[in-house]
Structure 1
Amino acid sequence: MARRIDINADLGEGYGTDEAMLGLVSSANIACGFHAGDAYTMRAVSRWAAERNVAVGAHPSFDDLGGFGRTFIQMSMHELESLVAYQIGSMAEAAADAEVPLVHVKAHGALYNAAARDLDHAMAIGRAIKAVDRNLIYLGLAGSRMGQAAEMLGLQFASEAFADRHYGDDGTLLLRTVNGSVISDPEVVAERVTRMVQDNEVISASGKRLAISFDSFCVHGDEPTAVVVARAVRRAIEDGGFEVAPLVDAVRDRPAALPADEARFTA
């Protein structure tokens, strides 16, 4: 049987592409109201996902509705843990209303970037996950502090690769403030996905080859090209002889030689 790979997208953020994206992805990270979305949207997107057999996850952020969660907010780790747990709990209720299980948690924006680099932030997110449901999958950047935090807390970690974002030489994502950090050309995206699934490597913005492991590909739902890019990612996966499937199945099919909690980036 072909290896299964997940495609996840950040949805419920008010961009009007949710239903189209749900026809292409296998996991939905649904905004929990602090950077986008609200109680009605969380329930609605959860119901649409359930109808399409798309797995549902929580997409918490800093309390930054005005800045779309892209502003780093200084706070204590106890405050952050409570903030994230509150959002996960809200999303769990929305998923229950749609009669679909909540599967994973993936941080958004500035919170994601902070947790990728800083263990304290990664641990705060992990403790929040554990407080709500220790069986939830912690989804984050491969080789990052998030994977380390998940291991320390006894949580299952799933790693993701980014088809539509450029990487720095250290394996972290280039900030959106960097010109060209977001890739909108579907053909370029497809070429990157093909390289990642076949060779387990990605080319950084400076041209360096980085080894990479992943269970899932992320496609950003907040871009004008989101649907065409998601279609290109799915096509490249399937043309490579792999199957698109929800995160739980992708984690189950993870190659033994590429554990998700191992740092896989090299210069």
Structure 2
Amino acid sequence: MSESAAALRPATADITLNSDMGESIGIHSFGNDEELLTLVDTINVACGMHAGDPGSMQLVVTQALAAGVTVGAHPGLPDLTGFGRRAMALSADEVRDLVRYQVGALVGFLDSEGGNLHHIKPHGALFAMVSRDEELMDAVCDVAVQYEVPVFGLAGTFHESVAHRRGVPFVSEFYVDLDYTDDGNIVVNRQGAASDLERVARRADLALQSGAATSIGGGTFPVRVESFCIHSDLPNATAVAQTVRSAVNRWKESPALS
């Protein structure tokens, strides 16, 4: 993550919580979707490639709209076995088609319920791939332009720079339940594990109050937080969301914002 992305604390206190949802398949249920819908502001719905299926998409869209939560697309790589967390060699055209296919599917379910697409946020290995490759991120932005929605991603990467060049609104995320490398990129784990809540609180407070985060190597790098991501498949995802919500509320009540 470049120094040009030096952290800028948000100009307003409108920081959201988002969560990846709809990752069940058939009779197999994953995640803590129902509980998290009472705690988050917007969700990223799996569109059938890395996880999810038509039934789970319909269910989570219906539940989210009933809860007053906005719905974004979470397109991933076509890799159910690896849960979309294994990189693939894809051209820009292939990424564009893959994202457009999945976003279009979700829009169909949203239309049926009178809802609107809120944003696009790539999943897992695809998220990492487009953060490092300008042409691949351009392909994602092609779809964002088509639907006139923002993209969620990491500040200081091609997520942000390409979105700005293309005139696509960009929302800078921060992850309290994942580790960061020394260059400011997230470490995508093959399997989720419970998060230490005290560590989650420290990470959220540091990001909000100082615009900074620490890496696995012990270094510090700048971050800009506009939305916190909570992974729904973690065993204690609900407690993580509650911890982050408390941190955001404390920050909103701080003298610096009054």
Q: Tell me if TM exceeds 0.5.
A: yes
Q: Post-superposition shift, 1:183?
A: 6.8
Secondary structure at the counterpart of residue 84 of structure 1 = helix
The number of equivalent residue pairs is 240
Q: Post-superposition shift, 1:86?
A: 0.8
State the partner residue of 2:13: 3
Q: Does 2:225 match 1:214?
A: yes
State the partner residue of 1:28: 43
**1:114 aligns with one of 129, 132, 136:** 129
> What one-letter code is carried by the residue in structure 2 that aligns with 1:19?
E
Q: Post-superposition shift, 1:170?
A: 0.8
Which structure 1 residue ranges, 4+ long, deviate > 3 Å from structure 2?
none
State the partner residue of 1:237: 248
State the partner residue of 1:64: 79
Contact 2:23 2:51 in 1 (8 A): yes
Q: Post-superposition shift, 1:16?
A: 4.2
Cα gap change, 1:90/1:167 in structure 2, threshold over 3 Å: closer, same or farther? same
State the partner residue of 1:168: 181
The gaps in structure 2 that reach 5 residues or longer are 1-10, 25-29
Distance in 2, Cα, partners of 1:148 & 1:169: 20
**1:37 aligns with one of 49, 52, 65:** 52
State the partner residue of 1:265: none
Contact 1:129 1:136 in 2 (8 A): yes
Contact 1:85 1:129 in 2 (8 A): no
Q: What is the correspondence of 1:85-96 to structure 2 with a 5 Å cutoff?
A: 85-96=100-111
Contact 1:2 1:242 in 2 (8 A): no
Q: Post-superposition shift, 1:182?
A: 6.5
Q: What is the correspondence of 1:45-194 to structure 2 with a 5 Å cutoff?
A: 45-131=60-146, 133=147, 135-176=148-189, 184-194=195-205
Contact 2:85 2:188 in 1 (8 A): no
Contact 1:138 1:150 in 2 (8 A): yes
State the partner residue of 1:199: 210
Q: Post-superposition shift, 1:2?
A: 6.7
> What one-letter code is carried by the residue in structure 2 that aligns with 1:189?
V
Contact 1:22 1:52 in 2 (8 A): yes
Distance in 1, Cα, partners of 2:134 & 2:102: 20
Secondary structure at the counterpart of residue 115 of structure 1 = helix
Q: Post-superposition shift, 1:66?
A: 1.9
Cα gap change, 1:213/1:242 in structure 2, threshold over 3 Å: closer, same or farther? farther
Contact 1:165 1:182 in 2 (8 A): no
Q: Post-superposition shift, 1:206?
A: 1.6
Secondary structure at the counterpart of residue 173 of structure 2 = strand
Distance in 1, Cα, partners of 2:131 & 2:224: 15
**2:235 aligns with one of 214, 224, 245:** 224
Distance in 2, Cα, partners of 1:98 & 1:205: 43
Secondary structure at the counterpart of residue 228 of structure 2 = strand
Distance in 2, Cα, partners of 1:183 & 1:226: 8
Contact 2:91 2:136 in 1 (8 A): no
RMSD: 2.1
Q: Normalising by structure 1, what TM-score? A: 0.84
